[in-house]
Amino acid sequence: MKNKVIGITADIKDKFFEIEKFYFDSILKSGGIPMMLPMVNNKINIKKICSVVDGIIISGSRDIDPKFYGQKKTKKINSLDIKRTLSEFAYIKEIYSNKKKKILGICGGMQLINVFFKGTLIQDIKSHKADMMDHIKTKKHKIDIFEKTLLKKIFKSDTIIVNSFHHQAVNKIGKNLIASSIAKDGIIESIESLDMKIIGVQWHPELIKNQKNLGLFNWLLN
């Protein structure tokens, strides 16, 4: 049986594509072969690239331009890259059309998946509501996992501790998606599709060295 290939979306900095090595480490540890997905928007190239991968990771990095979810930019919006957003939308569309392939969204990747499915975002958590947790400075916190979700099946636990590096969050959940976990301040910490082909998590499981978080990458490969 051949090892499955998992594509990971890349950022671009100073003419170079860039991916943190921890994504590669987690895929390799789970028995897969990691492959960088370049930032492209040509439909033919997207189809060719997606034909050789068995699943994809939408990695986190930039904020998403609020025009994609019907809002105007606030002063709290950070670095944007519309070309990257459109490229990742194209990868999601192509992979999701194949019923055998899965998608894992991590941090900003979860937010992008939600926007792709017509959901909205909180542009800045602290500006949204003063009594909310600072999800950047907190570094790590507990989340509650909902019953009868794919995430619960993977983690086999009601609560877990996750890391936290984000200032944006899912607000209105996209079509055919559900929330599968929540932080104590009400911030949605994970989403999944009703057909169980997509999981998005707000934390970075590739940075947490335990079997439970590795389970997300095992799910992607199986």
Q: Domain map of the chain by residue range?
A: 5-221
Right CATH for 5-221 from 3.40.980.10, 3.40.640.10, 3.40.50.300, 3.40.50.880:
3.40.50.880
206 catalytic per annotation: yes
pLDDT of amino acid 154:
97
Catalytic residue chosen out of the listed positions 135, 166, 167, 204: 204
Q: Say whether pTM exceeds 0.75.
A: yes
189 catalytic per annotation: no
pLDDT of amino acid 120:
98
pLDDT of amino acid 151:
98
pLDDT of amino acid 130:
64
**pLDDT at residue 221 is higher than 90:** yes
135 catalytic per annotation: no
**pLDDT at residue 132 is higher than 90:** no
Strand partners, 98: none
Catalytic residue chosen out of the listed positions 50, 88, 94, 107: 107
Q: 20-37 burial by CB neighbour count: b if 16+ within 10 A, else e?
A: eeebbebbeebebbbbeb
Give the pLDDT confidence of 7-49 residue by residue, as tens digits: 999 998 888 899 999 999 999 999 999 999 999 989 999 999 9
Name 211's Cβ contacts closer than 8 Å, sequence gap at least 6. none
| Dihedral of the alpha carbons of 64, 207, 144, 125, in degrees to the nearest 10 | -30
**pLDDT at residue 138 is higher than 90:** no
In whole angstroms, give the CA distance from residue 19 to residue 1: 28
Give the pLDDT confidence of 58-82 residue by residue, as tens digits: 998 789 999 999 999 988 888 788 9
Nearest one of 83, 76, 78, 73 to 63, comparing CA atoms: 78
Catalytic residue chosen out of the listed positions 88, 94, 189, 206: 206
pLDDT of amino acid 196:
95
- As a whole-number percent, the residues of the chain with pLDDT over 70 amount to 99
**pLDDT at residue 117 is higher than 80:** yes
pLDDT of amino acid 1:
61
